[in-house]
Amino acid sequence: MAKYRIGIDVGSTNTDVAIVDEKGRPYYTSKVATTPDVTTGILKALEKAAKESGVSPDDIAAVMYGTTHGLNAIITRRGLYKVGVIRIGLPATTAIEPMLDWPPDLRKAVGNLYVLVEGGFEYTGEEISPLDEDKVRKAAEKFKREGVDSVAIISVFSPVRPDHEYKAAKIVSDVLGDIPVSLSSSIGSIGLLERENATILNAAIIGVMKRSISAVRNTMDKLNLTSAKLYLAQNDGTIISAEMAEKYPIFTVAAAVSNSVRGAYVLTGLKDAIVVDTGGTTTNIGVLEKGFPRESSSPVVLGGVRTSFMMPDFVSIGVAGGSIVKQEDNKVTVGPESVGYELITKGIAWGGNLITATDVALALGRMRIDDPRCNPDLAKAKIPRDLAEKAYEYIIRKIEEGIDKVKTKPDPMPVVLVGGGSAMLPRSLQGASVVIRPEGAQSANAIGAATALIGATVEKTYNYEQVDRKNALEDAKSEAKRRAVESGADPGSIEVAFVEEISMPYLPGNIVKVRVKAVGKAKL
Amino acid sequence: MLMGEYKLSKEDVEALAIGAAILGTGGGGDPYIGKLMVTQVLEKGKDIILVPPEDIPDDSFIITSAFMGTPITLIEKLPSGLDALRALKALENYFNRRADYITPVEAGGLNSTIPLYVGGLTGRPVLDGDGMGRAFPELQMVTFHLYGIKATPMSLADEKGNSVILDTIDNIWAEKIARVVTIRMGGWASIAIYSMYGSQYKKAVIPHTITKAIEIGKAVREAKSHGKNPIDAVIDATNGYRLFEGKMVDVSRWIVAGFAKGEVTIEGLNDYKGKTMKIKFQNENLVAEVNGEIVASVPDLIVVLDLETGEPITTERHRYGYRVAIVGIPCDEKWRTPEALKVVGPRYFGYDIDYIPIEERIKAIGE
């Protein structure tokens, strides 16, 4: 019977893989170097795990992977779909047209094709104007002539009332047939421009995600993983079916940080903690809150574009295992420049000539490395003691500052160290009630992916004077549950992970933003 | 172009957004939306001309242009732009006179940019000055009010084509009634307000504040691109004072009569280690004290900046862990008369303390 799951997580230096058993215990972990095309690294990791672990292909029930394909496509502007954008909100919104402040190369890469039509709602749920269905149809016909690959629809106040987006989507599908349509109400929250940007980017990276998924599927076939289902890791530490990821790829662009945070939860059982994930180039510090990564509420800039959607709240620091130590006029700094995966050739302890953060920790006897090629004595001999101490102090100070920045209150919290570079950090840190580096820490990200639950987050806005609070919460919860089932969750296992109500100040009535996350076990 | 006139570039608008956020002293609304509106006007090939107040004829006719309402509705239902023109037209029709110049009401926050948008679209020159030199939350908190200029007749307009003319007995009533209209218009409205003649304007205005905001923004960008400290740049460009550096350790908030009030506690870092600053705010930062001693208060400007990036931090973003520098900037002399302090002094905001200009407070602490 199929019982194992494979988790894969793509980092900037390494692609990690883990196999966990039916209880979620790590059974096998490994790493390969991340490749420029990302795909090759994922496929290599998958093949390596299948071959080395000794697990029979029939015993693999699922493959879950977190990838940077979407993010890379946005940053490099390559492989993006041509997107037809429909913004519904006239006569409002014309003072700032879609994609106005996008970097010109990115605007060009997605086709810079948009139509503004009458419709949309006020915050009260009243129509600004009726939806101009004829204009929507004409826009769809224009998109057909222009050969768009994908359509994005954004309506004013759709988080309060998505009706016009649904109507427009139907018209678009009538004209364009089986073309992906991204609706802003499924992607973001109040704040038209940020939500619009996220929706357009979502529409643009659908092709990239489809190619990524099909490459992984082909390799799974080659490895005879015929009974395994495929899932993608999301930005919030949960997973969705490959089919859903093809519809909402934007929810997978920042999965790596969350995989590590979830992995820390799985490895320690701590529901509330600070997670310090140290790789080769950067250390990401996130927060576990009730067993899930804490989410961010501020806008996020992606590829030069301001967006807002489900993203983990974390602090990124340019100090990690491969960070280069510099000395200038008696001042010692570490990073952000890093040797990355070349640590094992360029680091002092490996016979190279660049002093890295890892070398410093080795020189001070703060860590051990099980690698026959690594010689700590080289580091001890070549790095002056004073320099090593100053550099190590610098590293600790940066990490402690980062820990403090992600906190919401001054009380000490448990700190979990994970990631390939985490061994160099000490077992006591300021602001930490306890510092834990669990077994399997170096593969926490892949373990987090392998053990993740299916998740769906829904964010809707209600006026409690018009909709009874109980009904509103029920509405949001049932939509989240429905989305979780659609994403591949076993209906019997679904739980509401959290409900959050945020009231909007300075408006009459009682306007409340409701966020609900539903999670469930993957239906295998 | 005449002497003293200044044609705005896209770089100026970028810089203005930074400078206006700094002069917003924690409130005033994010200038981001306004920056994009003005950018779109410039991209369409229109010119935006800034004119120094001293250059205008005494009998010229001036109208103030602004947005009024809740930012959360503005960032979702973006302006059509025609709403701003319609508000201007409605008031011009009422007076049966075309405005020769458009003026900003506040140099801080979002409203620093709106007159530029209107000026660019209508071809009217925009005056390089405002009625605050910073941001304040209420309609009557402007120097125009101090000089006896009436807020009304004023107009409000929405994107649908509705416009309203208000004529009230005083500026306080204008605030009350206009607030209600903005809500019915969907949460915000474009307004045209405080109309006056050149002779009145020259007396009442705080001059050169828009170019000042641009200068501040440019100084910050310049410092950053040369790897210099952006906070020093802000202090230099504003004749300001470094009041404190530290980490936010506690934020408490409460709502009073529709206003978001609160207090943030900041623990000293670097040269300020061992000291504690508290800042009281209501939309904008109002009073700052170190170890219980007041170091700055309204109407002087209290600006909270990210310690590393120099980016201004709005009061709604105050949270534990932020590393910040606090800069105090002297307000315009017009705010320092007993009459002005009745409108914008600490007591108006409910703090029973005397206003002492920041220069004197700093001097006293130094001694």
pLDDT tens column, B82-98: 999 999 999 999 999 99
pLDDT tens sequence across B187-216 = 999 999 999 999 999 999 999 999 999 999
**pLDDT at site A1:** 56
Identify which of A97, A129, A507 has the shortest CB distance to residue B187.
Answer: A507
Break chain B into its structural domains and give their ranges.
6-207, 229-366
Closest CA to B71 of B35, B30, B106, B101: B30
Residue B175 Cα distances to B115, B138, B167, angstroms: 20, 7, 11
Residue B364 Cα distances to A29, B239, B295, angstroms: 65, 18, 10
Phi, psi of A288 (to 5 degrees): -90, 125
Query: In the CATH hierarchy, which top-level class contains the domain B229-366?
Result: mainly beta
Q: Is A273 strand, coil or helix?
A: strand
Pairing mode of beta strands B154-157, B163-166: antiparallel
Q: Is the pLDDT of residue B19 over 90?
A: yes
Q: What is the rounded distance in angstroms from the CA atom of residue B275 to the CA atom of residue A339?
A: 41
**Chain B contact set for A93 (CB, 8 A):** 77-80
| Residue A300 CA, distance from chain mean position | 12
Residue ranges in chain B assigned as alpha helix (H): 10-23, 32-43, 71-74, 82-95, 114-122, 143-146, 171-184, 198-204, 209-225, 230-238, 338-344, 358-366
CB count within 10 Å of CB B299 equals 27
H helices, E strands: number in chain B: 12, 17
Identify which of B43, B72, B161 has the shortest CB distance to residue A190.
Answer: B72
B74: nearest CA partner in chain A: A191
- Please answer whether residues A240 and A265 qualify as being in contact, where contact means their C-beta atoms are separated by less than 8 angstroms: no
Task: Give the per-residue SS3 of A311-324.
Answer: CECEEEECCCCCEE
The domains spanning B6-207 and B229-366 adopt the same CATH topology: no
Please report the ipTM that was assigned to this predicted complex. Answer: 0.91
Encode chain A (524 residues) as per-residue pLDDT tens digits: 568 999 999 887 889 999 999 888 899 999 898 888 889 999 999 999 989 999 999 999 999 999 988 988 998 999 999 999 999 999 999 999 999 999 999 999 999 999 999 999 998 889 999 999 999 999 999 999 999 999 999 999 999 899 999 999 999 999 999 999 999 999 988 899 999 999 999 999 999 999 999 999 999 999 999 889 999 999 999 999 999 999 999 999 988 889 999 999 999 999 999 999 998 888 999 999 989 999 887 788 888 999 988 888 888 899 999 999 998 888 899 988 888 778 888 999 999 989 999 999 999 999 888 888 899 999 999 999 999 999 999 999 999 999 988 888 888 999 999 998 899 999 999 999 999 999 999 999 999 999 999 999 888 888 888 889 999 999 999 999 999 999 999 999 999 988 888 777 666 677 888 989 999 998 87
* A506 touches B at CB < 8 Å: yes
* A328 touches B at CB < 8 Å: no
Contacts of B287 (CB under 8 A, 6+ apart): B279, B280, B294, B296, B297, B298, B302, B346, B349, B351, B353
Closest CA to B23 of B163, B145, B126, B130: B130
**pLDDT at site A500:** 84
Burial profile A31-56: b = 16 or more Cβ within 10 angstroms, e = fewer: bbebeeebbebbbbbbebbbeebebe
Residue ranges in A81-148 assigned as alpha helix (H): 104-109, 133-146
- Please answer whether residues A229 and A522 qualify as being in contact, where contact means their C-beta atoms are separated by less than 8 angstroms: yes
Closest CA to B155 of B192, B187, B188: B192
Positive or negative, the Cα torsion across B313, B317, B323, B325? Answer: positive
Identify which of A100, A191, A505 has the shortest CB distance to residue B255.
Answer: A505
Contacts of B302 (CB under 8 A, 6+ apart): B25, B26, B243, B279, B285, B286, B287, B288, B296, B326, B327, B328
Picking from A102, A107, A504, A506 by the largest number of B CB atoms within 10 A of its own CB, the best residue to mutate is A506
**pLDDT at site B367:** 66
Q: Does domain A81-203 have CATH number 2.120.10?
A: no
Top-confidence residue, B27 or B256 = B27
Chain A from 183 to 212: CB within 8 A of any B CB = 190-193
- Please answer whether residues B120 and B46 qualify as being in contact, where contact means their C-beta atoms are separated by less than 8 angstroms: yes
Residues of B at the A interface, defined by Cβ within 8 angstroms: 33, 36-37, 39-40, 43, 70, 72-73, 75-82, 117, 159-161, 183, 186-187, 247, 249, 255, 258, 260, 317, 319-323
Q: Is the pLDDT of residue B263 over 60?
A: yes
Q: What is the rounded distance in angstroms from the CA atom of residue A339 to the CA atom of residue A334?
A: 12
Work out the burial of residue A373: count CB atoms within 10 Å of its CB; fewer than 13 is exposed, 13-18 middle, 19 or more buried: exposed
| Cross-chain Cβ contact B36/A298 below 8 Å | no
User: Average pLDDT in the B169-187 region?
Assistant: 91
Picking from B42, B74, B75, B78 by the largest number of A CB atoms within 10 A of its own CB, the best residue to mutate is B78
Q: How far is A156 from chain B (nearest CA, A)?
A: 6
The token pair at B244 is 């404190």
**pLDDT at site B141:** 93
Q: pTM of the predicted model, to two decimals? A: 0.91
A94: nearest CA partner in chain B: B80
According to DSSP, the residues that pair with B326 across neighbouring strands are: B244, B304
Q: How far is A162 from chain B (nearest CA, A)?
A: 14
**pLDDT at site B2:** 56
Break chain A into its structural domains and give their ranges.
81-203, 453-520
**pLDDT at site B257:** 65
Chain A from 399 to 418: CB within 8 A of any B CB = 401, 404-410
Chain A from 150 to 169: CB within 8 A of any B CB = 156-157
Q: What is the rounded distance in angstroms from the CA atom of residue A63 to the CA atom of residue A231?
A: 6
**pLDDT at site B258:** 62
| Cross-chain Cβ contact B159/A92 below 8 Å | yes
Q: Does domain B6-207 have CATH number 3.40.1610.10?
A: yes
> Which region holds residue A425: left if phi is over 0, alpha if psi is between -120 and 50, else beta?
beta
**pLDDT at site A359:** 94
- Please answer whether residues B130 and B105 qualify as being in contact, where contact means their C-beta atoms are separated by less than 8 angstroms: yes
**pLDDT at site B3:** 63
Closest CA to B41 of B98, B142, B122: B122
Identify which of A193, A409, A507 has the shortest CB distance to residue B70.
Answer: A507
**pLDDT at site A328:** 86
Work out the burial of residue A284: count CB atoms within 10 Å of its CB; fewer than 13 is exposed, 13-18 middle, 19 or more buried: buried
How many residue pairs bridge chain A and chain B with CB atoms within 8 Å of each other? 106
Q: What is the rounded distance in angstroms from the CA atom of residue A83 to the CA atom of residue A93?
A: 20
Identify which of A128, A191, A505 has the shortest CB distance to residue B260.
Answer: A505
